[in-house]
């Protein structure tokens, strides 16, 4: 760059280098819209045959081995096939508590479905249908490669309208969403692709037709704020539901609440500002056996700081089952180290 005077077009006394810009004038709005439309159309045509409608009924089955007879109260949602032999993914809240599940395929066939397993903590469930022929499936993409602003296409059955398509963009990454169980679901995608009741459990896909999320929630009355569980979470949970029928997690058996540590305690015992105040201890639980008492403040588990209930939930994984770990507590102002071996958590309200 060369010096120039302030009267020219330069910035701060320098002449700007000329950087070639794309000639947007050569690409008309019509061409851009055509390209956008072609991307949405191609993805919808590729994915739609794998998207199903799910009716969850509380009534009795008619006992037939083929089609299911509708009846009884219940709700409906969406899902999508992930294996040719009939495994499909949906939301836990779509199928939870249902006595009978009816799946309608893209070709109009209605088949009874069995619940393979569900994980209310991530609001995911796997069903299976029995078909004499291989079924069309969707590819699970890598949600870790998703970028804010990229095209996002939602396909489902909102309000009973079969195979509806909406499109938008990925609005944000790394959101957290509270599930019906009370636990936080991490790594959630936010999109402005329109979702309505009945979209739950359907896929959120890229322009290539790869699943990047499982549509799960919309914030009302706001518009354009919708959420999908990431495909990374969905793939991990689905593999365990298919293998074991459940997702194994550990628990210690305390009821607690987030508290701010008094400044004096922060200076004396911990650099962290918050902790978990133990409000109750389940009799016979790992916490009870470890000697944790009501009123204790949990600061760390396995050397990892615990700033709140959600931090504790994140640490209570399958890998900690039966493995003794140090738990750091404050009791009446005194810092203590106890040893605790988390046990397997059965389906229960979110209690660490």
| CA angle 329–334–339, rounded 5-degree value | 35
Q: Which of 225, 245, 265 is the last residue of a domain?
A: 245
Query: Final residue of a domain: which of 245, 265, 295?
Result: 245
Strand partners, 90: 125
pLDDT class for 12, splitting at 50, 70, 90?
very low
The C-alpha atoms of residue 1 and residue 241 are separated, in whole angstroms, by 62
Q: What is the CATH number of the domain that holds 263?
A: 2.30.42.10
Residue 103, both tokens: 């799946």
Asked if 297 contacts 277 with a C-beta cutoff of 8 angstroms, the reply is: yes
Say yes or no to pLDDT of 16 above 50.
Answer: no
Indicate whether 32 and 140 sit together in one domain: yes
Q: If you average pLDDT over every residue of the chain, what do you get?
A: 86
Percent of the chain with pLDDT over 90: 67
Same domain, 239 and 337: no
Instruction: Give pLDDT, residue 236.
Output: 93
pLDDT tens figures, 97-121: 999 999 999 999 999 999 999 999 9
Q: What confidence tier does 347 reach under pLDDT thresholds 50, 70, 90?
A: low
Residue 162 has pLDDT above 90, yes or no: no
Residues 83, 228, single domain; the answer is yes
Interacting residues of 95 by C-beta distance below 8 A, sequence separation 6+: 54, 56, 77, 101, 115, 118, 125, 127
Same domain, 177 and 217: yes
Report yes or no on 305 lying in a domain. Answer: yes
DSSP string, 106-154: TTS-EEEEEEEEEETTTTEEEEEE--SS------B--GGG--TTSEEEE
Same domain, 273 and 319: yes
Is 5 part of a structural domain of the chain? no
In sequence order, what are the residues at sequence separation of 6 or more whose Cβ sits closer than 8 angstroms to the Cβ of residue 167?
40, 151, 152, 153, 154, 193
Active-site residue, selected from the candidate residues 179, 181, 200, 230: 200
Of residues 76, 78, 119, 123, which has the active-site annotation? 123
The yes-or-no verdict on residue 9 having pLDDT over 50 is no
Is residue 165 included in any domain, yes or no?
yes
**49 has a pLDDT exceeding 70:** yes
Give the model's pLDDT for residue 1.
42
pLDDT, tens digit, 9 for 90 and up, residues 255-281:
999 999 887 776 666 678 899 999 999
Question: Would residue 189 count as lying in a domain?
Answer: yes
User: What is the percent of the chain with per-residue pLDDT over 70, rounded to a whole number?
Assistant: 84
Within a domain: residue 13? no
- Would you place residue 69 in the very low, low, confident or very high pLDDT band (cuts 50, 70, 90)? very low
Is there a domain that residue 352 lies in?
no
- Please report whether residue 316 resides in a domain: yes
pLDDT at 7 over 70: no
Residues 88 and 176 in one domain: yes
Q: Is the pLDDT of residue 153 over 80?
A: yes
Q: If we measure between CA atoms, which residue out of 242, 203, 216 comes closest to residue 115? A: 242
Q: What is the mean pLDDT of residues 286-313?
A: 95
Picking from 196, 212, 245, the residue at the C-terminal end of a domain is 245
CA-based angle 57:119:275, to the nearest 5?
Answer: 135
Q: Which of 24-33, 85-94, 122-131, 336-345 has the lowest mean pLDDT?
A: 24-33
222 and 255 share a domain? no
Clarify whether 200 is annotated catalytic: yes
At residue 329, does pLDDT exceed 50?
Answer: yes
| Res 150 pLDDT > 80 | yes
The verdict on 94 and 235 lying in the same domain is yes
Let me know if residue 8 belongs to a domain. Answer: no
109-to-54, 128, 139, 309 alpha-carbon distances in Å: 12, 14, 22, 45
Banded pLDDT at 15 (limits 50, 70, 90): very low
Catalytic residue, chosen from 48, 93, 181, 207, is 93
Active site residue 73: no
Per-residue pLDDT, 119: 94
- Asked if residue 314 and residue 206 are part of one domain, the reply reads no
Peptide bond into 221 cis (omega under 30): yes
Q: E strands within the chain?
A: 51-57, 74-81, 87-90, 100-104, 110-119, 124-129, 151-156, 164-178, 184-191, 203-205, 211-218, 226-230, 250-251, 254-260, 274-281, 297-301, 304-305, 325-331, 334-340, 343-344
pLDDT of 179 above 50: yes
**pLDDT above 50 for 127:** yes
More confident position, 58 or 25: 58
CATH of the domain at 198: 2.40.10.120
Determine the structural domain holding residue 280 and report its residue range.
250-344
pLDDT per residue as tens digits for the range 180-230: 888 889 999 999 999 988 899 999 999 999 999 999 988 777 788 999 999
pLDDT of residue 351: 58
90 and 113 housed in the same domain: yes
Pair 72, 161 in one domain:
yes
Q: What is the pTM of this model?
A: 0.78
93 catalytic, yes or no?
yes
Q: How far is CA 20 from CA 17, 23, 300, 330, in A?
A: 10, 9, 55, 63
Q: How confident is the model at residue 18 (pLDDT cuts 50, 70, 90)?
A: low
Same domain? For 265 and 207 the reply is no
Domain count within the chain: 2
Helix, strand, coil % in the chain, rounded to nearest 5: 20, 35, 45
Q: For residue 67, is pLDDT > 80?
A: no
């Amino acid at each position: 760059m060369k010096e120039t005077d302030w009267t020219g077009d330069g910035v701060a006394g320098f002449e700007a280098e000329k950087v070639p810009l794309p000639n947007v004038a050569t690409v008309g709005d019509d061409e851009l819209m055509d390209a956008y439309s072609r991307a949405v159309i191609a993805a919808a045509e590729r994915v739609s045959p794998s998207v199903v409608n799910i009716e969850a009924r509380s009534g009795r089955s008619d006992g037939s081995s083929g089609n299911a007879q509708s009846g009884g109260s219940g709700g409906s949602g969406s899902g999508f096939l992930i294996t040719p032999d009939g495994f499909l993914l949906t939301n836990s809240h779509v199928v939870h508590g249902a006595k009978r599940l009816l799946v309608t395929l893209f070709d109009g066939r209605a088949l009874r479905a069995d619940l393979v397993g569900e994980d209310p903590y991530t609001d995911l469930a796997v069903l299976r249908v029995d078909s004499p022929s291989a079924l069309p499936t969707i590819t699970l993409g890598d949600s870790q490669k998703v970028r804010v602003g990229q095209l996002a296409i939602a396909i489902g059955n909102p309000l009973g309208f079969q195979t509806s398509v909406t499109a938008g963009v990925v609005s944000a990454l790394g959101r957290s969403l509270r599930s019906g169980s009370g636990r936080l679901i991490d790594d959630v995608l936010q999109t402005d692709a329109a979702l309505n009741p009945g979209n739950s459990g359907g896929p959120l896909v890229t322009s290539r037709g790869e699943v990047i999320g499982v549509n799960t929630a919309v914030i009302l009355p706001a518009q354009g704020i919708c959420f999908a569980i990431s495909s990374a979470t969905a793939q991990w949970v689905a593999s365990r539901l298919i293998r074991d029928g459940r997702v194994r997690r550990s628990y210690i058996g305390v009821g607690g609440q987030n508290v701010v540590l008094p400044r004096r305690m922060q200076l004396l015992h911990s650099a962290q500002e918050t902790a978990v105040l133990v409000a109750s201890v389940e009799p016979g639980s790992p916490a009870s056996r470890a000697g944790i008492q009501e009123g204790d403040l949990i600061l760390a588990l396995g050397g990892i700081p615990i700033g709140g209930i959600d931090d504790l939930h994140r640490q209570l994984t399958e890998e900690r089952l039966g493995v003794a770990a140090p738990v750091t507590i404050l009791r009446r102002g005194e810092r203590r180290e106890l040893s605790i071996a988390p046990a397997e958590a059965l389906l229960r309200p979110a209690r660490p």
